[in-house]
Chain A
Amino acid sequence: MTAASPPPLLEIEHLVVAWPHPQRRKRQWAKAVNDLSLTIDPNHCLALVGESGCGKTTLARAILRLIPIHSGRILFAGRDLAQVSPATMRALRPQLQMVFQDPHASLNPRMRVGTIIGEGLRAHRLATDADLNEVVANWLIRVGLHPSDAQRFPHALSGGQQQRLCIARALALRPRLLICDEAVSSLDVSVQAQILSLLAELRRDLQLAMLFISHDLGVVRYIADQVAVMYLGHLVEVAPNDAFFAAPAHPYSRALLSAVPTLRPGPPPPTLVGEAPSLWSPPRGCPFHPRCPEAMEICHQQEPAWCTLGESHRVRCWRHDARPAEVDPSQGCASRQA
């Protein structure tokens, strides 16, 4: 990154999204997103990986202000989305669009394909009534559908075609940032490859920034410029694509990577034990320490600070912390075997 690099498109600063306990008297909060800070540059694809319950979907919805935010700032092109009025947010929405996981569920079954794409255009006055049909037809062709599909209903399309439609709907508004929330996870493998190629091509053509949420590391390897790993609402590692897959720094990242079934025959490497703890009773100190094979004494007590490992590679782990005194790297304590 040179000194004259463009300003980041999206800057998330200390974002906290929390749910109160259903029984009000307990005064507990489940922090689905816990003090998260992240940056996405224009024309850059950041992949967010993690398992269920880590908060990646919550983060996506929080960025789009579809769920309430507890505290923190979300700076988009200089404006704090956490503070703007609903009307301003509505006006900004064309620039931040999302493609959802289940294409079938995210399409209104009673609306025709052409109307689905044209609705956003009409609401934001991005196309006049006269050339609406033409714009819709162009978008259909661009995502690999046929203009005659505009008269059909979503249930007449296959899963891959429905996802193409969702992509067209989102991109017709010419967003600057596209959030893909597990957009290819529910598709067949061969269709997934087609949709990924489509997304990569459109990203290049439209100069889009992308936040790609996925649990599939193979997909992340293909499409992302940068990888961010989340665990229990915390961001634990952010690294460039090559650096992440060559040498992941955080023990959880390593565990994730080793859990991916490879195509080499033979027994896989040992797996991570136990399961992620509940958000209602998060562990003290580092959230990963109960399952971490490399946990130390300090991991039980203090949350680790961010350490920079290389260019745009940072990790939150005591093992990589070069600070002396409190940390004795030679003393490794065995993690609690669940």
Chain B
Amino acid sequence: MKQKVNGLGIFGQVTMNNKVNKWVEDVISLYSEAKTVAIVGMADKRNIYSWLSKHPQFDKVTMYDYDPQRADEDVVTTDVVFDIELEEDLIINYACEKMWPLGEMYKNREFILIGDDEHHNGDCNAIDSNKQLIEQNCITDIWEFNKVPRWKGHYFMVAGCN
């Protein structure tokens, strides 16, 4: 019985990730004028990276993750808040709940911001609304926003510029 529940959980998670990724692809296609893209905190998700890497609009797409267990030839293992300065035109942050708002650090950029409200141990910035994402990241030009259910809460998602 337990295995069945776990199986459903994984299936549900994949479905939710697909919804998030579809939304990300849609807003990029509709609004982004970027040439370079930073993908932050993508964990084991690679769909958006694959899609962007093949997209003729983008010259360079880079994934960043501070977890050495995620190290890969396509991933820069670094903390984008404390270690380096991002230079990309578009910053996609899949883990807003885990870090200082990147829009506070980087101005005149395009952002796709995704965070959840599950308040896990290790979340310093649980995201409880899209308004929070907009305000924290100083987003002045809002392209779109969305809210997708996840296991115990929601993904909040905002796309725009600051």
A and B from one assembly? Answer: no
Binding site for B on A (CB under 8 A): none
Binding site for A on B (CB under 8 A): none
